[in-house]
Structure 1
Amino acid sequence: MEVAIVTCPHCGQTVEAKDPTGGRTGGVRRRLKSEYRATRNTCPECGSEYDIRNP
């Protein structure tokens, strides 16, 4: 599992996130249907959940 640098869609903070896609993300969104979601992460700054989209 890789680590990606992403921007939290809730607070705008740049954070490191677990990325099972190997660095080929399709973006970061607040909520995605499970078929499009690679992983769900929690922002360490604001505590909100966000999803990394499959490429």
Structure 2
Amino acid sequence: MATVVVACPHCGQMVESNYEGNAHFDGVRQRLKSEYRLARETCPVCSHPYDLRRA
């Protein structure tokens, strides 16, 4: 499992996110196709979903 600190693409809040596996992290996007997505998270501040992108 890996932990990254990212900025929510909706509100800019810094959020700590976790994902399983050993894929390389390559940023945050609002919507991604499943083949590029490491994990889908929800911002605790604005409640919008965002995706962690695989490299």
Per the shorter chain, which TM-score range? 0.7 to 0.9
Q: Which residue of 1 aligns with 2:29?
A: 29
2: CA distance, partners of 1:34 / 1:41: 13
TM, length-normalised to structure 1? 0.87
TM, length-normalised to structure 2? 0.87
CA gap 1:23/1:44 in 2 versus in 1, 3 angstroms: farther
Offset, 1:3? 1.3
What residue identity is the alignment partner of 1:46?
C
RMSD: 1.6
CA gap 1:12/1:21 in 2 versus in 1, 3 angstroms: farther
**Is this contact kept in 2: 1:37–1:54, CA < 8 A?**
yes
Return the structure number with greater helix share.
2
Q: Which runs of 5+ in 1 are unaligned?
A: none
Q: Which residue of 2 aligns with 1:6?
A: 6
Identity over the aligned pairs, expressed in percent?
A: 51
Return the structure number with greater strand share.
2
